[in-house]
Amino acid sequence: MAELEGLEFGKSDFVLLDEVTMEQFMENLKLRFDKGRIYTYIGEVVVSVNPYRQMDIYGKETIEAYRGRELYENPPHLFAVSDAAYKAMKRRAKDTCIVISGESGAGKTEASKYIMQYIAAITNPSQRAEVESVKNVLLKSNCVLEAFGNAKTNRNDNSSRFGKYMDINFNFNGDPTGGHINNYLLEKSRVVQQQDGERNFHSFYQLLRGGSDEMLKSFNIQNDPAAYVYTKEGAAIATSNNDRSSHKAVMNALEVIGFSKEEINSIYQILASILHLGNVQFESDGESVQIRGLDAVNLISDLTGTDKEIVSKSLLYRTVATGGGEVIEKGHTEHEACFGRDAFAKALYERLFGWIVGRINAVIEVKDYNPVLHGKNTVIGVLDIYGFEIFDNNSFEQFCINYCNEKLQQLFIELILQQEQAEYQREGITWQHINYFNNQIIVDLVEQSHKGIISILDEACLTVGKVTDTVCLDSMDTKLAQHPHYTSRKLSPSDKSMEFKKHFRIRHYAGDVTYSVEGFLDKNKDPLFQDFKRLMYNSANPVLKEMWPDGQLSITEVTKRPLTAATLFKNSIVALVDKLACKEPYYVRCIKPNEVKSPVLFDEARCRHQVAYLGLLENVMVRRAGFAYRQHYTRFLQRYKMTCEYTWPNHLMESDKEAVEIIITQHGFQDDVAYGQTKLFVRTPRTLFTLEQERTALIPILVLFLQKVWRGALARMRCRRMRAIYAIMCCYKRYKVKAHFWEVERRFANVRTMADYGRSVEWPTPPAALSQFHNNTVMLHRRWWARQIVKNIPPSDMLEVRAKVAALTALGGERKDWGISRAWERDYLANERDCPQTSTSFIRVSKELRNKDEYSQVLFSGFCRKVNRFNKSTDRGFLVTDKYVYKLEPKKQYKVLKRLPLDSVSAHIYSSLLLTTVKGLRTLCLLLDYKGLCMSVLGV
């Protein structure tokens, strides 16, 4: 069953009605229509009411909501049945079919479109190009078939005037690989005549109003439907269809399907020739019949690629063969000429429509399919066929259509009963028989051999001599006088709703229908003179030639009478029913709520009539013959286990069946149910409603409980995640510390053997946690390194080392360019960076002194400040070489003021230098240099 909706929307399944009566059925149907719920279930049958407005219930979100779901999981919808058919086909590799029925204007064609749309949307997830191509052709074929097979009627602006059955082939993956379309009983009489307020087929108006100027000019037609006999009746009739945009869509669809430009042009050439054919007029002078004006004939000849003379001759004469093999030409009367012209126009259109369907089939049919290589090929059939029709004037077409519905209704009842009975037997439940209307007697009335109406019609058509519709009616009155479902005015003289020698009535399962016998024989014979067939076969147009293969026979070869229209239709319907009977059926029953296409009006009397002839009430009765509701134990338990303490959240019984019995017993429903092998059967809907109400009351409590549990679970997950994060952080920190230790150990492993004891080794960057430890380690290494240096100094040189240390201490905290952080460059006065303005002069003086005093090395040069005994200071230059010490005057181009031999410089000079200028310490350090060790200690 469907997921129960709120009570304000009524019952989502008619099986759940308290009482199965027409009043309750109609009340529930009207309530759901008023609330915008156009779909309702009868078990697995969908009842659809045409809303006459656009509804936002077919988009991608809706498709995803029903994809892969069971019928009971969502509110009733066309997509649910489509998905059920697709799943049955895919899971069980079983052919299925969806039968869409209802009267004209009930929404059958739109339902078939949505079914195709859904199947296309849920297949081919990998977007394979060949599968997408098949889907596009299948979808686009609807547009083409509507244009050539639909028309505006008094009941529907887009009424299907033919029956369509489409098989969609699927591979083992469930992707569409092709299809096949069968068409039934095209209403070709509409080509030449329409009822008041109706139009011809859409294709004519689309060509006249949507065709390009170039196309119309090439066909010699005007863009005015009123200019042609066959379309003028519908030229001024308003319709919701836009012929211009529809023509563009059809042209595009033909190209997508695979029609060539030549084929498309031929299709519209044939339409144009039919229009011109309708304008051919005849006149009689009493002895012979002539064509009034040959312009139309010439245009027909050009468009069909035939000879003008032969066209005229075919319209005016009929070639017949006598018993002795002699061929003669028999001239038509004016009536016969008009009749032959119209028959030719109808046959042209019928052959064109059949050729288009065949051409589409050639594109989408599965070719070279090998079950061994490709797996089993399964099928979903979609049947969109005309519904039961009762008009003011019911003719041969309505007779055939209503017979078709009788056959489908018979199949529907039989399959539903068979399914129900098979399920009860399979589950071990006693079947309770229910009385229902068996329409087999009506089917026999129409199709029974030798006694049925079709046989009587065929017999009349084959009888030699003048046989009229009235004679045929008399024959039916004679042979069917005792039949309970047949009557006429002759058999019921007091019934003035029928006329003598004109009407007969059949009591169908959907109601009594009065048929007018006028035209029955002509439409059943469907006469088309062989001259027209040969004319078309000899056409220069290859498309026309292909449409008329029977035209290759000469007049003497054509001896066998063709089957009548009624017999052909009966054979096709019998084949269709056999095809449907071997598939698992799903049904969509369409209902038309009113005649004025209003989205708010619900005509109860009109709908009641449709409910009656669709057999919906009988369907509900059959479904509820024993039990209103049945469900697998697992699914029932999943839905209602929260209503019992022994099954929530999980049961401890040996099987789901025992758990379900516990639920039923606790609620006291054991007398209202039966237990099958795999399903629970509930007899009355009240039991189910009680369980639903209790479930509805428990859901908020369970939701709060689940929210609490879930929030706790989320909190615990977050806590565990935080703990894990901190654990990872701690481990990572320990790893970074250990890695630092390992790196230090690796880099300083061999410092004892290095010449500089690791002084040149670069320390790795420590993690933040080891910054203080790193500083201490560096200090320890420097102390160790210094000890390694100092321990090699002789004791006699330690005084000098201490002096150097004292100098280092004195320099601490002074300017950076004085301190030890500055690189030792010795010859500062020659350095352009230190004295950019005087370096050139000093270098010149230094060279002169080198040449004069012959010293080999400058030990130090720099500025110093001389302080005399009066505490006055003067800037001087100071130059120390390996032989002399020079005092220079910077202001006089570094003139030598004093020169002393280096050996004569005594210790008191060092003291005075130290007291005179801090810079003198560099000189002191230089002079006390011991094999470069002091410079290393001082870091310069």
pLDDT tens for 100-116 read 988 878 888 889 989 98
Segment 456-479 shows an average pLDDT of: 85
- The answer on 572 and 443 residing in a single domain is yes
Contacts of 713 (CB under 8 A, 6+ apart): none
Winning range, highest mean pLDDT, from 146-150, 194-198, 426-430: 146-150
* pLDDT class of 634 with cuts at 50, 70, 90: confident
* pLDDT class of 935 with cuts at 50, 70, 90: very low
* pLDDT class of 28 with cuts at 50, 70, 90: very high
Segment 141-169 shows an average pLDDT of: 89
The closest of 899, 922, 895, 898 to 910, measured between CA atoms, is 922
3-class SS of residue 45: strand
Question: Tell me, what amino acid is at 550?
Answer: D
Handedness of CA 131, 134, 138, 139 (dihedral sign): positive
Confidence at residue 654, expressed as pLDDT on a 0 to 100 scale: 81
d(C-alpha 41, C-alpha 588), whole Å: 9
The closest of 204, 335, 336, 229 to 279, measured between CA atoms, is 229
Confidence at residue 5, expressed as pLDDT on a 0 to 100 scale: 67
Confidence at residue 604, expressed as pLDDT on a 0 to 100 scale: 92
- Does the pLDDT value for residue 938 go beyond 60? no
d(C-alpha 574, C-alpha 830), whole Å: 122
- The answer on 673 and 773 residing in a single domain is no
Segment 726-740 shows an average pLDDT of: 92
Quick one: residue 12, left, alpha or beta (phi over 0 = left, psi -120 to 50 = alpha)? alpha
Confidence at residue 815, expressed as pLDDT on a 0 to 100 scale: 63
The closest of 89, 127, 82, 129 to 376, measured between CA atoms, is 89
Question: Cβ(919)–Cβ(863) under 8 Å?
Answer: yes
Confidence at residue 332, expressed as pLDDT on a 0 to 100 scale: 82
- The answer on 830 and 797 residing in a single domain is no
- The answer on 841 and 775 residing in a single domain is no
CATH number of residue 406's parent domain: 1.20.58.530
The domain of 421 spans 399-426+437-525+564-584
- Report whether 376 belongs to an annotated binding site: no
- The answer on 869 and 788 residing in a single domain is no
**Residue 381: beta bridge partners?**
97, 167
Convert 906-930 into a string of H (helix), E (strand) and C (coil): CHHHHHHHHHHCCCHHHHHHHHCCC
- Does the pLDDT value for residue 932 go beyond 70? no
Question: Tell me, what amino acid is at 806?
Answer: A
CA 270 to the chain's CA centroid: 37
Confidence at residue 160, expressed as pLDDT on a 0 to 100 scale: 86
Among this protein's residues, is 389 annotated catalytic?
Answer: yes
- Report whether 121 belongs to an annotated binding site: no
d(C-alpha 204, C-alpha 102), whole Å: 27
- Does the pLDDT value for residue 586 go beyond 80? yes
- Does the pLDDT value for residue 386 go beyond 80? no
- The answer on 896 and 775 residing in a single domain is no
Q: Is residue 186 part of a domain?
A: no
Segment 226-247 shows an average pLDDT of: 89
649, 680, 708 — which closes off a domain? 708
| Active-site annotation holder among 233, 389, 420, 518 | 389
Among this protein's residues, is 104 annotated catalytic?
Answer: yes
d(C-alpha 922, C-alpha 824), whole Å: 9
Q: Is residue 816 part of a domain?
A: no
Q: Is residue 146 part of a domain?
A: no
pLDDT in tens, 112-152: 989 989 998 998 877 778 788 888 888 889 899 999 999 99
Q: Is residue 830 part of a domain?
A: yes
pLDDT in tens, 910-926: 444 444 444 444 444 44
| Active-site annotation holder among 101, 112, 124, 160 | 160
Winning range, highest mean pLDDT, from 330-344, 478-492, 920-934: 478-492
686, 708, 730 — which closes off a domain? 708
- The answer on 872 and 775 residing in a single domain is no
Confidence at residue 936, expressed as pLDDT on a 0 to 100 scale: 34
Segment 807-833 shows an average pLDDT of: 70
**Residue 290: beta bridge partners?**
283
The beta strand positions in 647-735, using DSSP E, are 673-675, 679-682
3-class SS of residue 443: helix
Contacts of 903 (CB under 8 A, 6+ apart): none
Domains held by the chain: number: 4
- The answer on 457 and 496 residing in a single domain is yes
Q: Which two tokens stand for residue 495?
A: 């019934």
The runs of H, that is alpha helices, within 791-906 are 798-811, 839-853
* pLDDT class of 540 with cuts at 50, 70, 90: very high
Question: Cβ(122)–Cβ(131) under 8 Å?
Answer: no
Among this protein's residues, is 156 annotated catalytic?
Answer: yes
DSSP string, 320-356: EE-TTS-EEEEEPPHHHHHHHHHHHHHHHHHHHHHHH
- Report whether 105 belongs to an annotated binding site: yes
- The answer on 577 and 470 residing in a single domain is yes
Q: Which two tokens stand for residue 730?
A: 């701690």
- Does the pLDDT value for residue 657 go beyond 90? no
d(C-alpha 160, C-alpha 152), whole Å: 9
Segment 592-612 shows an average pLDDT of: 90
Segment 15-36 shows an average pLDDT of: 90
Among this protein's residues, is 387 annotated catalytic?
Answer: yes
- The answer on 902 and 842 residing in a single domain is yes
Question: Cβ(357)–Cβ(167) under 8 Å?
Answer: no
DSSP string, 745-786: HHHTTTGGGSTTTTTTPPPPPPPGGGHHHHHHHHHHHHHHHH
Contacts 24+ apart (CB under 8 A), 733-738: 733/767, 733/769, 736/767, 736/769, 737/767, 737/769, 737/770
Confidence at residue 707, expressed as pLDDT on a 0 to 100 scale: 92
Question: Cβ(17)–Cβ(33) under 8 Å?
Answer: no
* pLDDT class of 277 with cuts at 50, 70, 90: very high
- The answer on 782 and 680 residing in a single domain is no
Query: Burial of 758 by CB count in 10 Å (0-12 exposed, 13-18 middle, 19+ buried)?
Result: buried
Q: Is residue 34 part of a domain?
A: no
Handedness of CA 77, 78, 84, 87 (dihedral sign): negative
More confident residue, 904 or 676: 676
- Does the pLDDT value for residue 367 go beyond 80? no
- Does the pLDDT value for residue 3 go beyond 80? no
pLDDT in tens, 853-889: 888 888 888 888 888 888 888 888 888 888 889 999 9
The CA-to-CA distance between both ends of the chain, in Å, stands at 96
Prior bond of 585 cis (ω within 30°): no
Question: Cβ(432)–Cβ(395) under 8 Å?
Answer: no
Q: Is residue 513 part of a domain?
A: yes
- Report whether 687 belongs to an annotated binding site: no
d(C-alpha 571, C-alpha 447), whole Å: 10
d(C-alpha 843, C-alpha 354), whole Å: 115
CB atoms within 10 A of CB 383: 25
Q: Is residue 315 part of a domain?
A: no
| Active-site annotation holder among 104, 203, 304, 647 | 104
Q: Which two tokens stand for residue 784?
A: 């160790």
d(C-alpha 63, C-alpha 53), whole Å: 20
Confidence at residue 855, expressed as pLDDT on a 0 to 100 scale: 86
- Report whether 104 belongs to an annotated binding site: yes
- Does the pLDDT value for residue 720 go beyond 90? yes
Q: Is residue 144 part of a domain?
A: no
- The answer on 866 and 779 residing in a single domain is no
The closest of 660, 677, 678, 679 to 669, measured between CA atoms, is 660
Contacts of 778 (CB under 8 A, 6+ apart): 763
Helix (H) or strand (E) holding 168: strand 163-170
Query: Burial of 85 by CB count in 10 Å (0-12 exposed, 13-18 middle, 19+ buried)?
Result: buried
- Does the pLDDT value for residue 207 go beyond 90? yes
The H helix count followed by the E strand count for the chain is 32, 23
Least confident of 284-298, 361-375, 510-524: 361-375
CATH number of residue 652's parent domain: 3.30.70
Confidence at residue 873, expressed as pLDDT on a 0 to 100 scale: 87
